[in-house]
Structure 1
Amino acid sequence: MALGVSVVLLSALFVLAGAGYPAPTSPGPDLADPDVAPADLAGDHVETGGVVIATDPVIIEITDGTTTQQLPVENVPAVAVGQDIIVDGTLTTDGTLTATRDSTVVREPWETTYMYAISLLGALFVAVRIVDGWRFDPETVTFSPRDTPLRTRYLSEDEASG
């Protein structure tokens, strides 16, 4: 019962954390939309992200899954072709995004995969520890600690036979 309540409370906290940060009143233009011309938004503050396709000048490719736009960006830290970048800045009259250097995020493409792989590895480690130290009793629908952890039981059997 306590485990179920804990899972429900944790889920509620995730929802509450997401609801605690309301979307801005004006989410801003979607620069990947082909109907949006960056030059028409001169002076506007935007936040966007994409993949760096050129470095002199820096040009990023912005996509929304169906359409793709290219946007020149200036005032960014050192980047390389293929890196993911999230920029925050002001559009100029020629359609260039002047980035706020302090809020620019540059990531290698493998970093997202690494993050998910490490999270999956951690989740598997926790699951193995739970299975090793706890047992489920279907008659009473409860979890209880094992008298002897599985690892100890199987290691002692291997040592006794070897």
Structure 2
Amino acid sequence: MPAREPFGQRGRFLAGVVLLTALLVLLWWTGAAAATPLEEAYPNEVEVTSNRDAYVGERVVLGGFVVETDPVVIATRASGYGRFTVVNADDSRLQSTAPLERGDDVTVFGTLADESTLEADRTVTDELRDTLYMFAVSFVGGCWVLVRLVRGWRIDRDRFALVPRTATPPTAGRRDGDTGSSLEAVAGSSERARSRPGRDRQRNGTGGDR
């Protein structure tokens, strides 16, 4: 007798719905959150650029693009206005150790040493190639997991569950065994029926030539 599942098909279906809903909510929450969590906790380029004196000595996060590389200078405005010299910009990069180049889109977190100097603790490069690399790696990893799932698992419709493809369905195993046993029983009965008359004639002394 197969072991009874604790929750059954309805329980698994309900758990799947709950997990799928949680996944969608988390995706929505992540998309609605700021690209850089520090932007919500520290003054950004909009506040600092227009009122630099008020933030000297404080920790800030500034987004902009590189306009000079020696030393590294970023501009927080598309017109090139709002320039800040970034100290330790290359050493504080998170994604790469390659030197920054002009036109690179960056987000720098650090301490505003004076009105035009930012001492960087972390520098994040928002380059297109980094974004494409992230999506490419995620896509390849997702395809690999999907192929492994399809090749190694199947859906058992009777139990509404994922089972290994090498596993034999319990019902099929029982049916084959029952059929084999029945055939063997019929064959044995036929053999006994064919051999019984000969044994009966020998027992009564009527068999054989006289």
TM-score by length of 2: 0.47
What CA deviation, in whole Å up to 9, does each residue of 1:13-58 have, x standing for no partner?
xx7xx9xxxx88x812122348842333112121334332332553
Say what the alpha-carbon RMSD is for the aligned residues. Answer: 4.1
Higher relative contact order (CA 8 A, sep 6+): 1
Distance 1:145 1:36 in 2: 62
* Greater Rg by CA: 2
Distance 2:110 2:48 in 1: 20
Structure 2 unaligned runs (5+)? Answer: 1-11, 31-36, 91-98, 168-210
AA at the equivalent of 1:82: G
Report which of the two has the higher share of strand.
Answer: 1
Structure 1 unaligned runs (5+)? Answer: 149-162
Cα 1:106–1:90 change in 2 (3 A) is same
Cα 1:142–1:130 change in 2 (3 A) is same
Q: What aligned pairs does 1:70-85 form with structure 2 within 5 A after superposition?
A: 70-75=82-87, 76-77=89-90, 78-85=99-106
Aligned to 1:96: 117
Percent identity, please: 31
Cα 1:69–1:127 change in 2 (3 A) is farther
Distance 1:96 1:140 in 2: 65
Report which of the two has the higher share of helix.
Answer: 2
Q: Secondary structure at the match of 1:32?
A: helix
Aligned to 2:46: 32
TM-score by length of 1: 0.58
Cα 1:61–1:137 change in 2 (3 A) is farther
Deviation, structure 1 residue 140: 2.4
For 1:116, which of 117, 125, 135 is the aligned residue? Answer: 135
Cα 1:32–1:57 change in 2 (3 A) is farther
Paired residue total:
133
Q: Secondary structure at the match of 1:135?
A: strand
